[in-house]
Amino acid sequence: MKILFWGSDSFAIPTMERLRQEHQIAAMICQPDQPAGRNRQLTPVDTKKWAIENNIPVWQPERLRQNVEIRRQIQDLQPDLSLVISYGKIIPEDILSMPRYHSWNVHASLLPELRGASPIESAILRGHQRTGLTIQKMGAEMDAGPLLATREVQIAEEWDAGDLRAALAALSPTLVAELLADPETAMQNAIEQDSSRVTFCSKIDKGDLWISWQLSAREIFNKTRALSPRLGGRTLFRSHLLKLWQVRPIYDNIPAEADASTRPGAIIYAKKAKLIVVTASGSLEIVKLQPENKKILSASEFINGFRPLVGEAFETEPEKDNI
């Protein structure tokens, strides 16, 4: 089968590897190179690097609407299918309908749950115990197309977004391959989404990174997992930015040198390898954290280097975010 692949994120690479072995990836469309690093040097996305290494033509249109050239290229290519995984732009409906078997999308949730840009992070943030992958036939409305296949994954309590992302990326090649074995039957058996079960998730922006100590220990635990290992939960300590990478809620036998009823964010224990903070509901052990412009530290390294005092507090986002 001749496939036109759309993808701009490394999440797509395991599936591309499988398709390259069993089908023909005739071309790949990805986002244009973006400035990155301190020097803001134009850098290709991971999928472009992979495609070049495997001698696959790469197209990087700046825009898709009213783009005559990209439509001509697709028409000349005559793909059997467009497969879209983490492309990052809205694809016009007339382009979606050009391939023989239309355009399919691999979405990292159990649609119709978590339609939108951050399904992996949002599943953890909201405390879901399960999520999964969905392959849908794409249409005019984002993530609202008929369902071709779904596969469920249980979210382990210790997983962060990186762990869940890896599990879903590893599952995608098999699910796609099963459908491509008989695409006509897959299309005929597509099921419309249940509109009564629709939920949404939005793109994570800068303001979403801040940890509110007015949340419960469980909620902060989930948020930290959702923001790791790519973004990190932001807080302030002694007026300086600090990122939380790993925390865990404490439910009983809390060692404390201060009353746990003190204000949320306050340190109630800081000895040896344990750093414990009180929240609006329950206490939280901080396991890994990163002071501004420094490496990630264990709790023990942070205690030895910064000498935090019982009663000192981690703070939420300042009124004006100049960080």
Could you give the domains of the chain? 2-201 (3.40.50.12230), 206-315 (3.10.25.10)
What is the pLDDT averaged over residues 78-102? 97
The predicted pLDDT at position 251 comes to: 77
**pLDDT exceeds cutoff 80 at 73:** yes
**pLDDT exceeds cutoff 50 at 323:** no
The predicted pLDDT at position 257 comes to: 64
User: How large is the greatest C-alpha to C-alpha distance in the chain, in angstroms?
Assistant: 72
The predicted pLDDT at position 260 comes to: 54
- Quick: pLDDT tens for 177-188: 999 999 999 999
What is the pLDDT averaged over residues 273-297? 95
Angle between helices 161-180 and 217-227 (to 10 degrees): 60
**pLDDT exceeds cutoff 50 at 322:** no
**pLDDT exceeds cutoff 80 at 239:** yes
Q: Range with the lowest mean pLDDT among 4-8, 39-43, 95-99?
A: 39-43
What is the pLDDT averaged over residues 73-85? 98
Q: Range with the lowest mean pLDDT among 24-28, 151-155, 318-322?
A: 318-322
Are residues 101 and 81 in contact, defined by beta-carbon separation less than 8 angstroms?
yes
- Is pTM beyond 0.85? Reply is yes
Q: Range with the lowest mean pLDDT among 14-23, 92-101, 187-196, 265-274?
A: 265-274
Percent residues over pLDDT 90 in the chain: 91
- Quick: pLDDT tens for 211-223: 999 999 999 999 9
What is the pLDDT averaged over residues 59-87? 97
Distance CA 255, CA 29 (A): 54
The predicted pLDDT at position 320 comes to: 45
The predicted pLDDT at position 317 comes to: 73
Percent residues over pLDDT 70 in the chain: 95
- Quick: pLDDT tens for 109-153: 999 999 999 999 999 999 999 999 999 999 999 999 999 999 999
What average pLDDT does the chain have?
94
User: Where residue 319 falls among pLDDT bands split at 50, 70, 90?
Assistant: low
**pLDDT exceeds cutoff 80 at 242:** yes
Q: Range with the lowest mean pLDDT among 85-99, 266-280, 309-323?
A: 309-323
Return the residue matching tokens 């779904």: 150
